[in-house]
Amino acid sequence: MSKQKWAIASKSFNAKPAMEFIVTEPIGLLEFLLLKLANKSRNSVKSLLTHGEVSVDGKRITQYNTPLREGQKIRINQSIIREKRQKNALDIIYEDSDIIVVNKPAGLLTIASDKEKEATAYHLLTDYVRQKKPENRIFVVHRLDRDTSGVLMVAKNEKIKLALQDNWTELVSDRGYMAIVEGQLEEKSGRIHSWLKETKTLLMYSSHHAGDGLEAITDYQVLKSH
């Protein structure tokens, strides 16, 4: 068993060039960014604002509810994102001859999609095992969403991967998440029953129409509110 910190080292994942847009009608800044960056989650877009990546007419803006007017120029500079990705690290919680268990940070994809070709936990761990032996591989057992941090398990061979996946519901009988949400929930605890769907741009959204997507049942409890 080993526990260590393994970080992205010399390998560099280049940031995309800055993007510029012209506002064509009155709209809120966050709504505008969500429309233009359709392949990013709401949290990822807010992170751009938090880290000062967005400017309006040359002035850096961090308030997501800033109103925009027709003719204004919006610039998104992603250089800071590149610096953060290079500093991303994976805490290896447990490792043996069959599996590696890590703590995946928020903002890091588990594995690349057709639309995303950036740093992923899969790439980082592949580089890690190949430092010991070039032909080593890893096999993804399950996934965590980009904006979710938590425990992620990968296998070192396909036989173990299939064995874990075949018995996954017995091994993981309950999944718990902690989240920060906007607004106030009417009830301090309850159940949300909905159906999850994914758009062509890989945005996940919740539908309340029965059968319209993958059924999802979430029991929640409010821990703290402001």
Backbone angles phi, psi at 213, to 5 degrees: 120, -160
Strands (E) in 40-141, as ranges, are 54-56, 59-60, 67-68, 73-76, 89-95, 99-104, 139-140
Which of these, 73, 77, 86, 87, lies nearest to 16 by C-alpha position? 77
Rounded distance between C-alpha atoms, residue 129 and residue 203, angstroms: 32
d(CA 122, CA 31) in angstroms, rounded, equals 32
Respond yes or no: is residue 145 known to be catalytic: yes
Q: Which ranges in the chain belong to alpha helices (H)?
A: 29-36, 42-50, 79-87, 121-130, 158-166, 168-171
Q: Tell me if 33 sits within 8 A of 48, measured CB to CB.
A: yes
Which helix (DSSP H) or strand (DSSP E) does residue 63 occupy? none
- Active-site hit among 91, 96, 127, 145: 145
At 111, list the tokens: 């594995």
Active site residues: 145
